Structure 1
Amino acid sequence: MQSFDFILFGATGDLAMRKIFPSLYQAYIDGFLPPIGKMIATGRSSLSTEQFIEKLNNNSKIHIKNCDDKKWEEFIHNINYLSINLNETKDFDLLKGKIDNKSQNIVIYFSISPEFFIKACENLTLVGLNDDRVKIILEKPLGMDLKSCQAINNEIAKYYKEKQIYRIDHYLGKESIQNLLILRAFNPIFTSLWEKEHVDYVEISVFETLGVEGRGEFYDNTGALRDMIQNHILQILSLVAMKIPKKLDAESIRSAKLSLLKSLKPLSDEDIKNNVIRAQYDKSGEFKSYLAEDNIKENSQTETFVAIKAELLDDNWKGVPFYIRTGKRMADSFAQIIVYFKNKEDLNSSPNKLIIRLQPENQISLNLKVKKIGKTMDYEENNLILNLNSTLAMQPYERLILDVIEGNQASFNHKEELETAWAWVDPILKNWQENKTPLYYYIAGSWGPKEAFDLIRRDKHEWHNC
C-alpha cells in the first residue's frame, strides 16, 4: 500500500480538533489509513510539536469514543507541528523541506478561512507543492455569492487542476446519503416509482436546537441560506432527484447532479414573495433572541430560518414541489428527507412516505398501512425500518478523507455544481438585501414561524416534525 503525506492548515482550529484528527485516528485504528509518510499540522500559533500534542490530548482526544490510549500514542507519534504565516513564502520553504521528494500521494487540507485559500495555493505552488502528486481539500463556505465563488474557483484553477481539488461537504459522507443512490439504483420498487407520476412532494429538513453558539460574527455575515441551503441542502436535493447514471463513478454522478441543479426553476421577485420564507429566532424562556447573542450587529436582518418551495424544470419532476427548510434554535435537532407518494383518488388516507434520516440516527423507513391485529379489518400505520447505525459505519469525515487519499471525487462538489447553486440562490440574497420581502420571527425552541406552515398548507400539505 502506497504511503501518503498529510498537511493540515488550521490544525489548532475547532474543526481540526473536533472532526479531522478524530477521523484520521479512527481510520488508523480501523486499518483503512495507508502508511503515513509525514503528518504535518500547521497553524499561526507559535507552538512546539510537544505543545501541539498536548493541545491534541486536551482538545481532540475527548471527541473520540472508547479511545485506545496505546493506539492514540502510536497515531500522534506521526504528527509534527509547524508554525506558518500563510503570507510568507519562506514558511512554505520550511514546509516543503519536511516533505520527502519521493512522496507520491500528498493530501493538503485547508481547514482555514476561504480568504486565505488563494494565497496558500500561490505559496504552495512557488515551492513546487502543486504537481500531480498533490490533492487539496477545501472547506466551505466557498464564497458569499456567485461572483465571489467564481473568483475563488478561477484563482485556485491557476495553481491546481480540477481533478486535484476536493470541495468537501460532510453531509455527502453520511451513511444514509451514501445509501441513497444504491437504494434508488438497485431496487426496482423505487426505481419505477421515483417520478412525478407517483411522487406527490418531497421535503428536506435540517434543524438544530442550538443557536449560534459563540459563532456570532461568522453567522451574522453568513445566515441560514448561505450556511445550509446553498451547499448542504441543494446537494441533498440533487442526489434525491437526479437521474441515476449507468455507472456510479465520480464523473457520472457529478454530471448527473449538475444537470439536476441546472433544472431548478429560477426565482423571480414574485416567486420569492410567495415561495420563500426567512425568519429569525426571538427570545423564549432561557433562550436569548438572536439579536441578543454575542457579536451580532444591532438590528441585524440575518436569517436563522429559511423555508423554500422549489420546483424543477426537469421532465421527470415537473409539477412536483420540493419543500426545503433549515433553522437554528428549533424544537428538535434532525436532518431528514421525506418522499411522499401519491394516493389514488378513491383512497382517503395519508400517503405512504419514505423517510431517510441523516441525523441524529442514520435510518431509512418506509411508512405503510397494515391491518390492525385482531378481529378487525381496520388499518394502522407502521414502518419498515432499515437501521444504518452499525458499529462498522464510518463517520463522514473519515470516509471523505479516505476518498481523497484514494483519489475518488464522487462525494465532492465540482466547481460548476457550486456555481450553479449560487446562481439559483443569488436572486434571493439580492431580494433580501433590497428588503423586498419581510423578515419574520419565531419563538426560540419552536417549530418555526407561522408563515412556513402557511407556505406548505397552501398546497394542502404538512411538514413532518419528529
Structure 2
Amino acid sequence: MQECRFILLGATGDLALRKIFPALYRASLSGLKPNITACARSPLSTPEFLDKLSTKAKEYIKDLDPKAWADFAANISYTPLDFNKPEDFKALKSTHPNTIIYFSIAPAFFAKACQKLAAVGLNAPNIKIVLEKPLGTNLQSCKDICAQIGKHFKEEQIYRIDHYLGKQSVQNLFYLRHNNPFLAGLLSAHYLDHVQISVLETLGVESRGGFYDPMGALRDMLQNHMLAMLALSTIPANTPTEHTRQAKLEMLRSLKPLNQESLKSQVVRGQYMAGGGFKGYTEEEQVNPHSQTETFVALKLELEHQNWQGVPFYLRTGKRMGASLVQVVFVFKGPPQALVYTIQPQCSLELQLQGMGALKSTLDSGMDAYERLILEVVAGNQSPFNHQDELEAAWRFVDPILQSWQENLTPLLPYAAGSFGPKAAFDLLKQDNREWFVHV
C-alpha cells in the first residue's frame, strides 16, 4: 500500500468530479492510499461535500463498489479555500514525505496559488504540483505563467499534465517503434512518403463555448496534444525511456518555421456552419455570434531533423466532423500502402499492403489516462509530463500562425457540420498528389 497526501484545488469543479476523483478511486483499488484534502471556495462541510461527490461518483464511475468507495471516501476531508485569504492556506500545511498539490483551477489563478502555498511552506522539496493546461495563449503568456510559478517551485517539482500523453495508446506511438526493430526500420525517412495525424470529433463545442471561443482548435488541440503526438511518433526508436522528454524537445525544436508564403499555402482554418440538424458554431451557447474562432485546422509541416528530411507531416483537427477519430497514418513510398495506428475509437494497429488487403490487430488501451498520470506523479516520474522547454518550443512554432490569422492572411472557411472540413483541407494534400486517410 503506497501512501500520499493529495491536496486538490478546485475540488468542486467539473474536471475534479468527472476525472480526478474517479482516477484516485481507481488508483486506490490498485494499492494507492491517498489522504485527500479537497479545496474549493464553496462553504461546505466535509459531509456535505462527500454527499455531492458520492452522487457524481455514481454517475461517472462504472462498476462502483459501495464498500470500496466508502473506504476511499473515509480518507477525504473538505476545506473551504479563498485565494484572497492567506489564513485559509495555513490549514493545508503538510509534513507528509510525498505531498501532491493538484491545480484543477484556471491558469489565471496559478501564480496566486503558488504564492500563497509558498507563504505557508507548501513549496518544500518533497512537494509536487500538478498543473492542468492551458498554460498561456501564446509564447509570451506561457513564459510569463511559468516565470511566476518558477519563483516558488523548481522544475523538478512541476508536473504539467496533458491527459493525451497519459493515454497508454498515445505512449505506444513510441513503444511500438522502441520495442519492434522491424517497425523502427520501416518508420523512417528512407521508406516513408509522408505522415498524417488526425484528431476529429463529431461533437461541437457543447457547453464549453465560454472556454473554447477565446481558444480555438489551434490552441485547444493542435499546439499541445497533436504536436506531442508528432514528437512521440518521431523521436529516435533507440531512445532510452528515461530520455524521452529530451528527445521530444529535440523534435519540437526541429519544427521548420512557417514563413509568410507557407502560412498562406500550408495552413487551412475553418468554422462549422449549421447542417445535419446541428447548429452552426456562432449559434452555440456562450459563443460570440460574430466569432472568427476556428473549429478546424489543417496544416503541412516539416522537421529539420536528419532522421526526417523530406518527409512532410499533415495534421488536421476539427469539431463537428463526419467521424470521431484519433489516428496516425504512416504512408510508405511506392504504391498506396500504410501503417495505420488508431487511438480512438478503438486502439488498433493496421498494416495495409497493396494486393494483400489489411492486417489488423486490436490493442489494449491500458488504464485510464488520469489514473496513470497520478500514479506517475506519486512515483516521481516526470517523463510523461511536459517540460517548460517543450511548451515553449510548441508555442514558438504556433505563434506565427496565430499572428497571420490576426492579420487575415489565412481566410476562415465555412464547412458543413458533419463533414470532414473545408475543401481547402483536401486540396492541401491534393496539390501534392496525396489524400487523407479515413479508417474508422
TM-score of the two chains, using structure 1 as the length reference: 0.92
Q: 1:275 offset after TM fit, Å?
A: 0.3
The within-5 A match list for 1:35-434 is: 35-36=33-34, 38-96=35-93, 99=94, 101=95, 103-249=96-242, 252-343=243-334, 349-351=335-337, 353-369=338-354, 379-389=355-365, 393-434=366-407
Q: Counterpart of 1:433 in structure 2: which amino acid? A: Q
Q: Counterpart of 1:384 in structure 2: which amino acid? A: K
Q: Counterpart of 1:290 in structure 2: which amino acid? A: Y
Please name the residue that 1:30 is paired with: 30
Percent identity between the two aligned chains: 51
Q: Counterpart of 2:106 in structure 1: which amino acid? A: S
| Cα distance in 2 for residues equivalent to 1:336 and 1:40 | 38
Q: Would the aligned equivalents of 1:176 and 1:356 in 2 still touch at CA under 8 Å?
A: no
Q: Counterpart of 2:345 in structure 1: which amino acid? A: P
| Cα distance in 1 for residues equivalent to 2:87 and 2:303 | 51
Could you tell me which runs of 5 or more consecutive residues in structure 1 were left unpaired when the two chains were aligned. 344-348, 370-378
Q: 1:61 offset after TM fit, Å?
A: 2.9
Q: 1:95 offset after TM fit, Å?
A: 1.9
* Greater Cα shift, 188-197 or 260-269: 188-197
| Cα distance in 2 for residues equivalent to 1:246 and 1:266 | 25
Q: CA distance change for structure 1 residues 322 and 246 in 2, over 3 Å: closer, same or farther?
A: closer
Q: 1:367 offset after TM fit, Å?
A: 2.0
Q: 1:261 offset after TM fit, Å?
A: 0.5
| Cα distance in 2 for residues equivalent to 1:220 and 1:454 | 27
Could you tell me which runs of 5 or more consecutive residues in structure 2 were left unpaired when the two chains were aligned. none
Question: Can you list the C-alpha shifts for 1:413-456, whole angstroms capped at 9, x where unaligned?
Answer: 00000001000000000010111221001001111111100101
* Greater Cα shift, 49-58 or 218-227: 49-58
Q: Counterpart of 2:22 in structure 1: which amino acid? A: P
Question: Can you list the C-alpha shifts for 1:367-392, whole angstroms capped at 9, x where unaligned?
Answer: 234xxxxxxxxx34122314224xxx
SS of residue paired to 1:307:
strand
| Cα distance in 1 for residues equivalent to 2:225 and 2:364 | 20
| Cα distance in 2 for residues equivalent to 1:446 and 1:436 | 24
Q: Would the aligned equivalents of 2:184 and 2:237 in 1 still touch at CA under 8 Å?
A: no
Please name the residue that 1:372 is paired with: none
Q: 1:2 offset after TM fit, Å?
A: 5.0
Q: 1:178 offset after TM fit, Å?
A: 2.0
SS of residue paired to 1:423:
helix
Question: Can you list the C-alpha shifts for 1:78-116, whole angstroms capped at 9, x where unaligned?
Answer: 1111111122211101222xx3x2x10000100110000
Q: Counterpart of 2:427 in structure 1: which amino acid? A: D
Q: Counterpart of 1:18 in structure 2: which amino acid? A: R
Q: Would the aligned equivalents of 1:245 and 1:256 in 2 still touch at CA under 8 Å?
A: no
Runs of 4+ in structure 1 over 4 Å off: none
Q: Would the aligned equivalents of 1:403 and 1:409 in 2 still touch at CA under 8 Å?
A: yes
Q: 1:278 offset after TM fit, Å?
A: 0.4
Question: Can you list the C-alpha shifts for 1:387-415, whole angstroms capped at 9, x where unaligned?
Answer: 224xxx21100000000000001100000
Q: Counterpart of 1:178 in structure 2: which amino acid? A: Q
Q: Would the aligned equivalents of 1:87 and 1:120 in 2 still touch at CA under 8 Å?
A: no
RMSD after superposition: 1.3
| Cα distance in 2 for residues equivalent to 1:72 and 1:176 | 28
Aligned residues: 439
